[in-house]
Chain A
Amino acid sequence: MAIYRRSYKPYTGALTATWSRWLVLFRYARRNLFRSKVQTVLFTICFFYPLLCLGGIYLAHNLSFLAQIGVSGNLISIDNRFFFRLLAVQGVLAFLLTAFIGPGLISPDLANGALPLYFCRPFSRAEYIVGKSSVLAITLSQITWIPGLVLFAIQAGFAGPRWAWDNLWIAGSLILGSLIWIAILSLLAMALSAWVKWRIVAGALLLAVMFFGAGFGQAINAVLRIESGYFFNLGYLMAAVWTDLFRIESEQSLSAGDAWIALLVYCVICLGLLVRKVRAYEVVR
């Protein structure tokens, strides 16, 4: 046995707060996101419709301008339907953006076997998932409820506090409707990329789940003459929730409550798939 001087001195400086360490992942993943020109262009396109809506709000309150061009003042009605349409358009764009950026968050780490490097630090699996999903959550927030709230605030500024107070629930619906959509998209994209590990295939699979799910649901409804097939149609479920949140009458076959439950079940399944795959070591039997 060798004789050692035992002069080891451990690091005694302050450590950053545990809760904040997932932000390191967020910073790096976010920076990588905008290295891709396609993703940057797509992200920019996502602001076109909110800008159009901004113009609409301005015109709706600029009666003299409307009069000059010979259009009646109530051409554009700024109400719950206006914000529902905004969320519907932005929701589609959020889905496309997720299909581009979601699979690239986790699959390279899994494909390269880099997870042990993350977990041999004071860093948990939950923090890893939070760190990675926060990139999607924040990016999708920037194109859904944040511009929605900005437009709501501008409209409130034009229409006055009375309108704002009477329609405050629309702001709540915007936030809640966006968050559930962001949650389902983020979890689905990450769960698929964790299982497939191949970025392009995971992106394609996300599109397939959305579109083939809808087709499969319709086929079940048609063949079995039931309406439970809609549970496979994520877009339909989301629309059912949004129409309920924005108090819009619809001819949806599923109730909002059923749609909520189905979406939450999807979230739990995706989370389960994710937790099962995001491990320091994958045991191959």
Chain B
Amino acid sequence: MKDRIVFENVSKFYDEILGVNHLNLSIPPGITSLVGPNGSGKTTLMNLMTGLVKPSRGQIYVLGCRTDDPENLFKMVGYSTQFDAFPKGLTGFQFLYSYLQLSGRDSHTAEQLAWRAIERVNLRNDAGRNIAGYSKGMRQRIRLAQALAHDPKVLVLDEPLNGLDPLARSESIALFRAAAELGCYVIISSHILHEVDVISDQVILLSNGYVVAEGQIQTVRSEIQEHPTQILIRCTRPRELAAKVIESELASEIAIHNDGRGLLLKTRNSDNFYLALNELALNGIEIESVTPADDDVFSVYEYLIGNEEVVR
């Protein structure tokens, strides 16, 4: 429990409105993405994790620390909310400096940490400007800076990539990776599924307040039995290969790729198919590549939460 973020049968109700229900999670270090449609409970889960809302039922432990112990919890946790909200009248530096003081750092340490965080998010030249005059991307970055300024072991970031241009986005992702490589826990919620796919070590899929799936995305995909695995095969003679695959009865659907240089097929038993493909390839068909076509977050999202709003 000391090295995980643990949810034990956690439910949160806002009176009659369900926030999340029966959550049992054990989140390891690395980058964990929370994925789900609007209102699925992502922000509630983050607020529960940071003690900002209390669970109606169940227990939450962040690296062994209870969430109703803010003095110890926030030594380890940095939170960046999704709201574009700041106290009035502060410059970027003052914002970080004052909040570090609220976190118990003396003025000298707070100043050092504030400048370091500002440099990490590449805002040094604008640190003296009033936050009210920042662009959306700069506000996102200063919010990220306040979350990581005190070197937390757990970074909880609600929609941290919203509003960032591609360069700032890749810089932020590099920051998350660097934190994860140090052994930190980076919890991210995002609607940008292809980015989730690229940066996450594991995902938690939420729908209507329930966890629909959790774990590495490939593992999750392999456990979805009702949807056959899609495989894209690039080869020299796709029609010939298609005929042989039909003969082997390992694929339920086969289509020649639009460019005529490959096959897109669906199989319910991908392990057996890969074994059989080796034998098929020995008969003179040159296979350039074999790639799963639907073991990404978007496909899993569509399969598991397909009837919900699909966001890409």
Show the binding face of A for B, using Cβ within 8 Å: 1-2, 4-11, 13-16, 18, 21, 24-25, 28, 32, 35, 108-109, 112-114, 116-124, 280-281, 283, 285
Contacts and interface: CB of A to CB of B under 8 A. Distances in A.
Interface of B: 14-15, 17, 28-30, 47, 50, 52-53, 70-79, 81, 83, 85-90, 94, 98-99, 101-106, 109, 146, 150-151, 153, 180-184, 201-202, 216
Contacts of A16: 101, 104-106
Contacts of A118: 102
A5 B85 contact: no
Contact of A10 (B14, B75, B86, B102): B75
A4 B47 CA distance: 26
B77 A122 contact: no
A116 B52 contact: yes
Nearest to A22: B102
Contacts of A2: 30, 180-181, 201
A10 B105 contact: no
Contacts of A1: 28, 30, 201-202, 216
A8 B102 contact: no
Nearest to B17: A285
B141 to A, nearest CB: 15
B71 A122 contact: yes
B30 A4 contact: yes
Contacts of A4: 29-30, 180-183
B99 A117 contact: yes
A11 B75 contact: yes
A138 B109 CA distance: 28
A6 to B, nearest CB: 3
Nearest to A116: B81
B53 A114 contact: no
A281 B50 contact: no
A120 B101 contact: no
A21 B104 contact: yes
B52 A8 contact: no
A6 B102 contact: no
The 10 closest A-B pairs by CB, nearest first: A6-B183, A15-B104, A280-B52, A113-B85, A120-B79, A108-B88, A8-B182, A122-B71, A8-B183, A24-B101
B153 A123 contact: no
A120 B52 contact: yes
Contacts of A281: 47, 52-53
Contact of A123 (B70, B105, B150): B70
Contacts of B104: 15-16, 18, 21, 122
Contacts of B88: 32, 108-109, 112
A13 B50 CA distance: 23
Given A1-B30, A28-B98, A113 B83 contact: yes
A10 B151 contact: yes
A283 B14 contact: yes
B146 A32 contact: no
B293 to A, nearest CB: 23
A279 B1 CA distance: 29
A218 to B, nearest CB: 39
B30 A114 contact: no
A281 to B, nearest CB: 6
A37 to B, nearest CB: 15
B70 A117 contact: no
A7 B89 CA distance: 38
B40 to A, nearest CB: 17
Nearest to A1: B201
Given A119-B52, A122-B70, A122-B75, A114 B98 contact: no
Given A4-B182, A119-B52, A21 B83 contact: no
B75 A123 contact: no
A109 B184 CA distance: 31
A11 B52 contact: no
A176 to B, nearest CB: 33
Given A2-B30, A281-B52, A123 B102 contact: yes
Given A8-B153, A16-B104, A108-B88, 11 more contacts: A4-B29, A9-B151, A13-B105, A15-B105, A21-B101, A21-B104, A28-B87, A108-B87, A116-B52, A116-B79, A121-B74
